[in-house]
Structures are given as structure tokens and as C-alpha cells.
Amino acid sequence: MPSDLTQSHGAPPAEAAQSFSAGWIVPSLLAVLIGGGGALLFHFLGMPAAFLTGSATAVVIALALRVPVNLPGPVRAGAFSVLGTVMGASISAEALRQLATAPFALIGLVLCIIGTTTASAVVLALVGRWDRLSALCGSIPGNLPLVLAVSMQGGARMDRVVMAQSTRLFILVALIPFAFGGSESGALSMGPAEFGVMDVLVTVALTVASVGVAYAARIPAPTLMGPLIAGATVSLTGVATVAIPEWLAAFSLVMLGTSVALRFRGVKRAGLIRMFLASLAAFVAAGAVALALAALFALILGRPMASVFLAYAPGGLDTMIALSFLLNFDVAFVALIHTARMIILSLTLPAIVALLARRWRNSGSTCD
């Protein structure tokens, strides 16, 4: 399993530190320069969520041109932690009160997991002619490290799984800002109008400490969710000022976009176009189901459809929360629903995939 596919969602600190080696310097510098260049270009052109979408687009192009780009785990973990803190600080008391509708939203979440997975898997199996296990594993929304682990254990084609998962996430990052509008201009103000060096130091210390607590408490996606919870707690109670320099916020968004693009590093080049087209068709099917359910439950919950779609969208927890923040939607609601999805998948996915893989293996239809 490619290391860049696992560490973005929170490898333990000691494990992530192993990604530093003599060979990481040039690929990392290239990734930062290319991602930063794409972000600045999109920002100059006035594109929505430019630092996220621009960096992701530029790095995907670099990968297609076989430029050796990569990022060590600690850099990505640090970027996610910074974003978690500032996104948590944006959560208001009113947003928390509105979470009373969450039980109804969870019903929609379960329907969305089943519906998007089924729609995508059917398209991959029938249109792409993928084996059933690879089609299933490539269609499961979110919790990528777990999906990759159970896919490998079950014997799925990993190039297909990575292609389907990466294509879906990249398209969501590229299209959602344009579909729902918004820009990070203004959203990159990660602190009050006036703050001092001490405020920044306190925020950094809070971020580091919250990551350690999140790992100890086994919170899903600890490098993101630990700081998010801490930032929200500190901001709502007023015990300290959450402040991050804008340059650091922008850099963290560039690293997030770059990390999204780097998921394509695990895709084999053989049959690349055919796999991509199948993955694209599967995304359309899954996206249509998610959009329909989001429209329905937006009416039931009395929430903006865009906010509900971001909560139900078959993308990564870190990226969808970041998009909800950049586009000024309800971060608390989106974070809660995506965290719930990670927990649901963690509890059910290993057993389901193992059972189906064994059944399909016995019937001779696991991989082709």
C-alpha cells in the first residue's frame, strides 16, 4: 500500500516520522512549488477555493507528466492539524444547537452510504467490467485507509480501487466550489483583527496537544478532528484566542490539495484511461444518488442543500470539512456526519468485505 495513501488520514506520530528519508527532499520541494504555483494561479484567476483546487489540479498534472512529487507524512499531518484548529474555531454556538437534527441526518447518511456504493459498484461492474470485489471497494465512500486495508486483504485489484477512490475525491474537490460558489478570500483570516505572537504560540501549543489527546482517545482522523474539537472548545468558551497567520493557513490548504492529488501515485499506468473512464462514470452515478438524497433531506432537516450534500458527499472527511469551511457552510454539521460515517464503516466494513470476498472467491469471480 502506498504510504501517501495512509498517512493523510492520521498515522501515529512515530510511524509518520519514518517517512522522512534522504530521498524525500526534492520530491517534497517540487510538490510544494507546483502545488503553490497552481494555488496562486487559481487565486489570481479568481477561482473559488483557489488554494485547495489550484494545488490539487497542478499536482495531478505534474503526476501525469511523471514529475517525481511527494510529501512526507508529518508535513501533511501538520497541515491538517492547522486547518482543524481554525475550522473548529469557526463553529458557532448556534451551529451546535442546530445539531439537534443530527439523528434524522444519520438516517440519510446510512441511505447515502448504501445508495452511492451500490450505484457506483454496479456501474464499475457492468460498464467498466470490473470484478465485483474491486467494484465494491472502489465505491465505498470515505475512510480510505480502512478501504485500502480491507481491499488488500480481500484480494481486490488495488490499481482499480485507488483509481476509483482518487478520481471521485479529485472531482469533488474540483467541482464543488464551482457548483456551490464561494471563495477563500476572507475565509483565510484565521484569527481576530488584532492578535499577537503569544496568541499564535498558544494556538500552536493547543494544536499539538490536541493531536496527542486525539491519538490517545482513538478519535477518528486524529490529526484533523483533535484540533477541530479543541479549536471549537476554546473559541466557544473564550478561554483563549485562536490565531493562525494567513500565510500558514494558505500553506496548509495547499498541502491539503496536494495530498488529494498525490493519491493518484498508487495507480498503475496499464489500462489507465479505461480505468479512469469507468471511475468517472461511477462518480456520476454515485454523485447523482448523493445529490438526490441531499435534496430530500435538506427539506426534511431545514438546512441548505449544499451543506447537506457536503455532509453526504462520497469524499474524504478532511477534504469535505475543509470545503465546508471555505464555502461558508456548517462545519460542525459536516464534521459530525463524516465522523459518523467513518465510525459506521469502521464497525461494519471489515466483516462485510471479508464475507463477500470469500463468497465471490468461492464462485470464481473475485478478480479478472
Q: Residue 171 sits in a domain of what CATH number?
A: 1.20.1530
Bigger pLDDT: 118 vs 158: 118
Write the CB contacts of 124 (distance below 8 Å, at least 6 apart in sequence).
130, 134, 135, 138, 139, 160, 164, 278, 279, 281, 282
* DSSP-assigned letters across all residues of 282-329: HHHHHHHHHHHHHHHHHHHHT--HHHHHHHHSSS-HHHHHHHHHHTT-
CA dist 340 to 53, 144, 228, 284, 312, Å?
26, 15, 15, 24, 11
pLDDT bracket for residue 143 (50, 70, 90): confident
Indicate whether 304 belongs to any domain: yes
Query: Are 79 and 255 in contact, with CB atoms under 8 Å apart?
Result: yes
pLDDT bracket for residue 107 (50, 70, 90): very high
pLDDT at 16: 43
Confidence (pTM): 0.78
- The answer on pLDDT for 327 being more than 90 is no
Q: How many helices (H) and strands (E) does the chain have?
A: 17, 0
Indicate whether 262 belongs to any domain: yes
Indicate whether 215 belongs to any domain: yes
pLDDT at 366: 54
Indicate whether 368 belongs to any domain: no
Q: What's the alpha-carbon Rg for the chain, to the nearest Å?
A: 20
Q: Which of 59-63, 99-103, 138-142, 171-175 has the lowest mean pLDDT?
A: 99-103
- The number of domains in the chain is 1
Q: How much is the average pLDDT of 33-57?
A: 90
Indicate whether 367 belongs to any domain: no
Indicate whether 192 belongs to any domain: yes
pLDDT averaged over every residue in the chain: 84
- The answer on pLDDT for 278 being more than 90 is yes
Q: The domain containing residue 150 runs over which residues?
A: 3-362
Summarised one tens digit per residue, pLDDT across range 172-218 is: 998 888 888 654 444 455 555 567 788 888 889 999 999 999 999 98
Work out the end-to-end distance of the chain between its first and last CA atoms, rounded to an integer number of angstroms. Answer: 20
